[in-house]
Amino acid sequence: MRKTTIFFIVIDILAISCFILFYGPWDFKNIIVNTAMVTKSHQYIAYTFYSEEMVNKILSLNTFVPVDEEIELDDIVIDTSEKDTYDNEYDEEILTRDEGNDDYKYLQVKVGKYKAHLVAIYNPENVTMMTSRSFNTGSGQETIPKMCKRYGGLVCINGGGFKDPDGWGSDIPVGYVIKDGEVIWAEDNTRQNIIGITYDHKLLLVNATGEEAIDMGMRDGLQFGPFLIVNGESIQYQSSVGGYDRAARVAIAQRKDGVILFLATEGTHGSGPTMKEVIDTLELYGAYNAANLDGGTSSQMVINGKMVNNPKNVFGQSVAGGRRVVTGFALIPTKE
């Protein structure tokens, strides 16, 4: 009798605890719903615990108001030389070179409360897009360390998304992929958010078709988003939630002086920086234009052949060597 009583007390405590977790604190609801909806193949989890009305309400808190203006690339005047004076401590941190390294500078920073990795690239003409060996062949994905090695990159990050019908990924890119002034992959010919590098080494963020982006001078580009900062103006979120679910983040940005920034944060699905926290950090370091890249398990930054972040899957387990992806951005040194 005593054992039976203890058993039912434990069951009651567990039931109450679950009820409080799933129907109590708003932050926990936000994590559950957004994690389930982002992973796509597990969206049923959100609807198991919450009504469609509640799911939509939570998702609406993570919507944002985009910057309603075209990017002005003339504002970017490339001059990445060291200065005698600096605007602030962050400016000095970026522009003061490490001895013997005129290619880039690596900084460990915090994005919100999460560890992150920031690289300032001094020669924007050496930034290019990487692609996996093939698309839609069944074996066309590569991890960023392998892709980076094949391209001869000093610093590399992952780029755009890919179809993920069963949770295991694929080698089919989502949307446009532009390489060397040609559309090498496209789902259709509609206008989409495209992130790319122009022939005059500027980060171009544009809502356009692939051909329109090329006509604007884009050399390499991929479809993803959202755009975080355009002409120094950041997107605005509808609530204090801060944008999307919390997760590991990857972003690319450019300062007005032409320095390109690669950012990768630590985190997992439901635990990581918000998009607003990413924006705040990039603004501190002078980002004038910036865009979000594929995050979560795909988040990867490689420096000199070594993965500096710790990619984790949806269960919080480390993914040794990184997840296989289809695109990325790289700093490739000039061959002498």
Looking at residue 308, what is its pLDDT? 98
pLDDT in tens, 284-329: 999 999 999 999 999 999 999 999 999 998 888 999 999 999 999 9
Radius of gyration of the chain, Cα coordinates, nearest whole angstrom: 21
Span 200-218, average pLDDT: 98
Which of the four pLDDT bands, split at 50, 70 and 90, describes residue 334?
Answer: confident
Q: Which two tokens stand for residue 92?
A: 């000095």
Say which residues have a Cβ less than 8 Å from residue 209's Cβ, sequence separation at least 6: 176, 189, 190, 191, 192
Q: Which two tokens stand for residue 321?
A: 């060597």
pLDDT in tens, 300-310: 999 999 999 99
Looking at residue 141, what is its pLDDT? 95
Say which residues have a Cβ less than 8 Å from residue 302's Cβ, sequence separation at least 6: 144, 145, 148, 153, 155, 156, 157, 308
The answer to whether the CB of 246 falls within 8 A of the CB of 274 is yes
DSSP string, 126-170: GEEEEE-S-SSSSS--B-HHHHHHHHT-SEEEE---B--SSSS--
Which of the four pLDDT bands, split at 50, 70 and 90, describes residue 67?
Answer: confident
